[in-house]
A and B are shown apart, each in its own frame.
Chain A
Amino acid sequence: MLRRLGLVGAALVPLGLIAALAPATALAADVAPQTAAAVDTGKITVGPGQAALIALGYYLSNSPWLFGLAYFTLFRPLVAGFFVGLILGDPAQGTLVGAAINVPYLGFISAGGSYPSDVPFAGWVGTTIALAGGLDPASAVAVAIPLGLLGILIFYGRMAVDSIFAHWADHFAEKGDIGLVGLMNVLPSQIFLFLISFTPVFLLALNGPAYISDWLDQTPLWFSNGLVIAGGILPALGIALTMRFIFRGSAIPYFFLGFILFTFTGGSMSLVVIAAIGLALAYLHLAFTGAGEPMAAPAASAVPAAKAGKKPAAEPKVRLSRGDLLRSWATWTFFSHANYNYERLQGTGFAHAMTPIIRKLYTTPEEIRAALKRHLVFFNTEPNFGNVIHGTVIAMEEQRANGAAIDDDAINSVKSGLMGPLAGIGDSLSQSTIAPILLALGIGIAGSNASINIASGTGGIQDVPTLGSAAGNPLGAIVYIGLVSVLIVSIGYVAWMQGYLRGRSFVTDLLRSGAIDRVIVGAGVLGNLVLGALAAKFVMIYLAPTVDVAGAKLNIQASILDPIFPGALVLGTVMLVWWLLKKVNPLLILAGILAVSLVGAYPFFGPEKPRGNEAQDFYEACTSTLLHPWYPCGEPPPPEAP
């Protein structure tokens, strides 16, 4: 896998990008001449301070310092794009580019240490290169995706090396040092992560844009048009990956409804309005289909073990306060993935979260040592909904400290028995429902000011630059950050406290009530509607071939397909990619899209012309044989004004 990724990455990432990893000092001279050209090409020079901020942002997006929310915020290109835009002085354009880069990653999910792509690398570096190099959003997507594959190396390095620090934690557990076990979960891994994250991104941000844009300027015109075409088709991959999670069962029609709503209003219906319609439809859907009805409780429902253990201690020796619970919850929420590694995944994070509890409950060195070691073993669950486990375990530890007969086996079996199923439910909820749907909404808002889809444009020369300079709406990123943060933190808090108060019965009560099913089914309705609209908004594919009808050359797509069903080709492309995903690896589809785009952009029948001014370039783009980068294409340029 690693080798294959390396090959694809190496094949796709322009050589200049790799060369940019050379020492910054040697390249400073190269950056300077770019400044002169910046005036007329829209290019920006990235200063060392700005590059450092961008590199810091990338590090933070994998770090624990944002209350466990980095994975749901800075990690996502929509949010990264907004911040890169702020740093480089154009938050609107940054959000727009970030939104475009995010679409292919809508269906991204990392479960159990798997990591298909380094999404934040694509987001932070991709947006920087696009903004500084003056790329349009579609080319930015084509440049960012290979970056995401390259960045996986950072994740692999971290997962392998962090296993070492788990053994350091073992060492201090043996000595019964509570504080140092906690520190081992955070300090070494974060120093290491900072070094391997900050360095490459800093150098790339400082030098990459100049290299990439120089390199693109030297490629033939059909090649850069091919990148624009690829950037228009790649979103279909992200949408199809998301469809794997929500395009199912009775929710399927809503995807087509969303697509049609957006297409038939000529792209004028706001995604927020579509989401509001989606909420209403979700309510109706649940009311009429009766999905998620409470299940009948089994006749002899088991008495939860946590409760059974509660009776013996009449006068508890030690009681946990609300403050202890909150400290433990906050420690987990911050640091669950600080030392994520292949050997134990969240093992040291769990032990770290238990440190406030152990400190309060146990006094003898033997008890402390045993408790630390008990919780340093392999552990992995979804870190928000899965908090039921932590709450339950804390209640068990409290009873044990008060003399109840709860042995290590009882505690281990709760952890190892529940971590899987709760991760299954939690991931379905947070990673594959809440995140993609809210992202889709945020992306929709981010693009709302922009005429990315210029199908409705007039096709004049002046429309070409608008593809690159159409301002996005930073509100898309801000609304997304707000909504996702509130939802994720609430789920984590409620699960933790209910786990403590009600133990295992909370799990069965909640699951039996059907509430989770209702949320997932309802969100599926809303999600499909928004996803359908997003497909219509972001996927772009324009056929070049024409047919002669009564002496006039008619474009097959514009004059024949679209009048029957607007967007039929886009919908067909998305469905094709969705179907292909059942058979083929996403990386192959990615390579296939790039190949189709480049071949499609090649002018088999037209003369290959050198680059000219913008007006000429616009016309030359239309000499491609199969696919056009924009629409309408093919009108000869108007005579130049004298």
Chain B
Amino acid sequence: MSLQLVRIDDRLIHGQVVAVWLRTLSAKRIVIADDATARDEFLREVLTLAAPHGVPVEVLEVVEAAVRLIELAAVPEPVMVLVRSPRTVLRLRRAGVPIPVVDLGGLGAGPGRKRLHKTISVSPAELEELRELERLGTRVEIQIVADDRPIPLRALDQGS
């Protein structure tokens, strides 16, 4: 139960994450689950170095990340998990990672994407994936920074 924050954020590590979330959660470790990023040696290094001193960053492909997260979920050390898309959370969930709640922290706008709240936009496919997560028992909440009150997806998604 130490996966304190599983956050969907297409920018992965950035100011809100480093300057606000990490401090608030006092997370001691960041795990990034993303296939493309894990295969890019340069990005892997930048992300590792971008985290504050003393917070190790593990950048893993989703399949490896699932194994690692099941392991980390069992120990009390607080961990922050970052992914780029709802699909990844769904894959982790289906692989047996215990994710009671997922935070929708940042998903940029673009063609064909619907704005849910402030900086959060979703494609129809992503919305379906989020609904599937809720059906699997993972609460989906929007909380951009720690000082915001979490908004349940259900409050914004009339279609479900």
Query: Quick one: which of A426-472 are within 8 Å of B by CB?
Result: 426-428, 431-432
Q: Which B residues touch A244, using CB under 8 A? A: 23-24
CB A433 to nearest CB in B, in angstroms, measures 10
Q: Does A344 interact with chain B (Cβ within 8 Å)?
A: yes
Selecting from B65-73, B88-96, B106-114, B128-136, the interface stretch reads B106-114
Cα(A305)–Cα(B40), bound, Å: 11
Q: Which B residues touch A109, using CB under 8 A? A: 15, 19-20
Cβ contact of A378, chosen from B26, B40, B108, cutoff 8 A: B108
Closest to A170 in B: B111
Q: Does A565 interact with chain B (Cβ within 8 Å)?
A: no
Query: Quick one: which of B38-90 are within 8 Å of A by CB?
Result: 40-43, 45-47, 49-54
Q: Are B119 and A342 in contact (CB under 8 A)?
A: yes
Cα(A232)–Cα(B95), bound, Å: 54
Q: Which B residues touch A295, using CB under 8 A? A: 49
Q: Which B residues touch A397, using CB under 8 A? A: none
Encoded as 1 (CB less than 8 Å from any A CB) or 0, chain B from 1 to 36 comes to 000000001111111111110011010000000000
Q: Are B14 and A428 in contact (CB under 8 A)?
A: no
CB B78 to nearest CB in A, in angstroms, measures 12
Q: Are A111 and B50 in contact (CB under 8 A)?
A: no
Cα(A513)–Cα(B118), bound, Å: 37
Q: Are A298 and B45 in contact (CB under 8 A)?
A: yes
Encoded as 1 (CB less than 8 Å from any B CB) or 0, chain A from 216 to 233 comes to 000000000000000000
Q: Are B11 and A416 in contact (CB under 8 A)?
A: yes
Q: Which A residues touch B145, using CB under 8 A? A: 111-112, 114
By size class, the interface of chain B is 35 or more
Known contacts A305-B42, A342-B119, A431-B19; decide if A291 and B53 are in contact (CB<8 Å). Answer: yes
Q: Are A112 and B16 in contact (CB under 8 A)?
A: yes
Known contacts A245-B23, A298-B45; decide if A424 and B54 are in contact (CB<8 Å). Answer: no
Q: Are A508 and B14 in contact (CB under 8 A)?
A: no
Query: Quick one: which of A153-181 are within 8 Å of B by CB?
Result: 159, 163
Q: Which B residues touch A116, using CB under 8 A? A: 147
Cα(A245)–Cα(B52), bound, Å: 11
Closest to B84 in A: A416
Q: Are A113 and B15 in contact (CB under 8 A)?
A: no
Q: Which B residues touch A420, using CB under 8 A? A: 9, 11-14, 17, 50
Cβ contact of B15, chosen from A111, A418, A504, cutoff 8 A: A111
Q: Are A417 and B40 in contact (CB under 8 A)?
A: yes
Query: Quick one: which of B130-152 are within 8 Å of A by CB?
Result: 144-145, 147-149, 151
Q: Are B109 and A343 in contact (CB under 8 A)?
A: yes
CB A327 to nearest CB in B, in angstroms, measures 27
Q: Are B46 and A421 in contact (CB under 8 A)?
A: yes
Q: Which B residues touch A113, using CB under 8 A? A: 118-119, 144
Q: Are B42 and A426 in contact (CB under 8 A)?
A: no
Known contacts A111-B16, A420-B14, A428-B18; decide if A343 and B42 are in contact (CB<8 Å). Answer: no
Encoded as 1 (CB less than 8 Å from any B CB) or 0, chain A from 287 to 316 comes to 000011001001000101100000000000
Q: Which B residues touch A417, using CB under 8 A? A: 37, 40, 43, 46
Q: Does A494 interact with chain B (Cβ within 8 Å)?
A: no
Q: Which A residues touch B45, using CB under 8 A? A: 298, 302, 508, 511
Query: Quick one: which of A568-587 are within 8 Å of B by CB?
Result: 582, 585-587
Q: Are B109 and A424 in contact (CB under 8 A)?
A: no
Cα(A586)–Cα(B19), bound, Å: 16
Q: Are B41 and A432 in contact (CB under 8 A)?
A: no
CB B13 to nearest CB in A, in angstroms, measures 5
Closest to A587 in B: B147
Encoded as 1 (CB less than 8 Å from any B CB) or 0, chain A from 408 to 422 comes to 000001001111111
CB A511 to nearest CB in B, in angstroms, measures 4
Encoded as 1 (CB less than 8 Å from any B CB) or 0, chain A from 372 to 399 comes to 0000011011100000000000000000
Cα(A344)–Cα(B11), bound, Å: 13
Q: Which B residues touch A428, using CB under 8 A? A: 15, 18-19, 52
Closest to B150 in A: A1
Closest to A431 in B: B19
Q: Which A residues touch B10, using CB under 8 A? A: 416
Q: Are B24 and A582 in contact (CB under 8 A)?
A: yes
Cα(A179)–Cα(B81), bound, Å: 43
Q: Are A111 and B13 in contact (CB under 8 A)?
A: no
Q: Which A residues touch B11, using CB under 8 A? A: 112, 380, 416, 419-420, 423
Q: Are B18 and A302 in contact (CB under 8 A)?
A: no
Q: Which A residues touch B40, using CB under 8 A? A: 413, 417
Q: Which A residues touch B151, using CB under 8 A? A: 1
Closest to A418 in B: B46
Q: Are A344 and B144 in contact (CB under 8 A)?
A: no
Cα(A113)–Cα(B20), bound, Å: 13
Known contacts A419-B11, A520-B53; decide if A424 and B118 are in contact (CB<8 Å). Answer: no
Known contacts A114-B144, A343-B121; decide if A427 and B108 are in contact (CB<8 Å). Answer: no
Q: Which A residues touch B43, using CB under 8 A? A: 417
Closest to B21 in A: A111
Q: Which B residues touch A322, using CB under 8 A? A: none
Q: Which A residues touch B24, using CB under 8 A? A: 244, 582
Encoded as 1 (CB less than 8 Å from any A CB) or 0, chain B from 92 to 127 comes to 000000000000001011100001001101000000
Q: Are B108 and A111 in contact (CB under 8 A)?
A: no
Q: Are A159 and B50 in contact (CB under 8 A)?
A: no
CB A295 to nearest CB in B, in angstroms, measures 8
Query: Quick one: which of A108-151 are within 8 Å of B by CB?
Result: 109, 111-114, 116
**Can you list 26 pairs linking A and B with CB atoms under 8 Å apart?**
A109-B15, A111-B14, A111-B16, A111-B20, A112-B11, A112-B16, A112-B106, A112-B119, A112-B144, A114-B145, A244-B23, A291-B53, A302-B41, A305-B42, A345-B108, A378-B109, A378-B110, A380-B11, A381-B14, A419-B11, A420-B11, A425-B50, A427-B15, A428-B18, A520-B53, A585-B149
Q: A112-B11, A344-B108, A423-B14 are in contact. List 12 more A-B contacts (CB 8 A).
A: A4-B149, A111-B20, A112-B15, A113-B119, A378-B108, A416-B11, A417-B37, A420-B9, A421-B12, A431-B19, A504-B42, A511-B45
A-B complex: 6 closest residue pairs judged by Cβ atoms:
A420-B11, A427-B15, A421-B50, A378-B108, A111-B15, A511-B49
